[in-house]
Amino acid sequence: MMKLAQEEKDFWKALENQKQDLEQEALAIEETNHQLRQQINKQKEKLEFMRSENESLQQKFKIIAAIPEKAVKFIGVEKEIPDHKLEEDCLHIQGQFSIIQNPALTLSGGQALITFEEEQVAERILKLARCPVTVDSAKMDVKPSRVALDTAVKFEVQLNVSLKKIEVSNIPPILPEERIRDKLELNFSKPSLGGGEVDNVEYNKDSGTAVITFLHTGVAERLAMKKIYPFDMGHKVSEVFVSLCTEDRLRKFQTFCGTSRRTVLLSGISDVLDEEDLQDNLEIHFQKPNNYGGEVENIKYNAQGQTTVAYFNEETVGSE
């Protein structure tokens, strides 16, 4: 009887110990989950910051330019392409773009930029320590100095657009990789949705993207125009994004400093008149030969309390 009681006591003790172990394990799991949730939140914040930074950089380096029409004339064959290679050479659209950033200067309040038609006029003004200027009976000493422009860049971009490949993004990773590949091939081979016969599928699970190669041209362009494509995964239909597959290379990246030989920076100007009238008076003063001036091509005065960024073109800037 005593032995049975002892066994029962040991059983309940072991059960209590097991309960305590499970509670400690549950606490440890909860602590781990808490730490993981904190890490997830941090990663989400980091991802959001990187997206914001990416959008900011895209806006900063976005190039919007109106390209004028240009008359072209066929002058001869540059390269003969054999018939058996003709289709292969027509599978890509190739382009090359030269981009030159206009040098810039930040103009502070009480400063003016004046560009003369002749370089020697600017040189005469720059030899003066100060320029006494009278505006509306008020006298001021304006200090001329050479323009020091910000560093600018120029580079070439080579672009290669495939006419048989598309890039698919926003693919949900809810199936094994092999099944995702099969589903991609099946979905994008449907003519009813604009697809065509698929030659190859390259799927990247980490980025949720894929590159799909078709056997024939025309399919990739047709799908890229849709931009969004229904991706049927069997139990769920998701929207994926479609674009032409492009390769770009950055070449001949150079930084350079420029100096404007016909432009002078004027500092120490007081707001004795409104901005437009003061600018007109400065132009009149520096046009007079007895003030060591000459014909003015352009002038920009920046009133006190303002900041303006001035851009220079190649006609007024020399590279250094």
Higher-confidence residue of 86 and 149: namely: 149
Average pLDDT of the residues in 27-39: 84
Distance CA 197, CA 301 (A): 64
Higher-confidence residue of 131 and 6: namely: 131
| Residue 163 falls inside a structural domain | yes
Average pLDDT of the residues in 294-307: 88
CATH of the domain at 117: 3.30.70
Residue 142: give the domain boundaries. 105-150+258-319
Q: What is the pLDDT of residue 308?
A: 86
Choose the final residue of a domain: 237, 253, 269.
253
Q: What is the pLDDT of residue 320?
A: 41
Q: What is the pLDDT of residues 231-282, one digit of tens each?
A: 888 888 888 999 988 887 888 888 777 778 888 998 888 888 888 888 888 8
Range with the lowest mean pLDDT among 28-32, 54-58, 100-104, 165-169?
54-58
pTM: 0.47
| Residue 200 falls inside a structural domain | yes
Q: What is the pLDDT of residues 50-99, one digit of tens each?
A: 877 777 666 655 555 555 676 767 677 666 666 555 555 566 777 777 88
Q: Which tokens hold the place of 290? A: 């007895």
Q: What is the pLDDT of residue 66?
A: 58
Average pLDDT of the residues in 102-126: 88
The three-class DSSP label of residue 278 is helix
Q: What is the pLDDT of residue 124?
A: 92
Average pLDDT of the residues in 39-47: 85
The three-class DSSP label of residue 290 is helix
| Residue 291 falls inside a structural domain | yes
| Residue 24 falls inside a structural domain | no
Q: What is the pLDDT of residue 192?
A: 87
Mean pLDDT of the chain: 81
CATH of the domain at 214: 3.30.70.330
Q: What is the pLDDT of residues 194-221, one digit of tens each?
A: 888 999 999 998 888 999 999 888 888 8
Number of structural domains found in the chain: 2
In a shared domain, residues 175 and 189: yes
| Residue 47 falls inside a structural domain | no
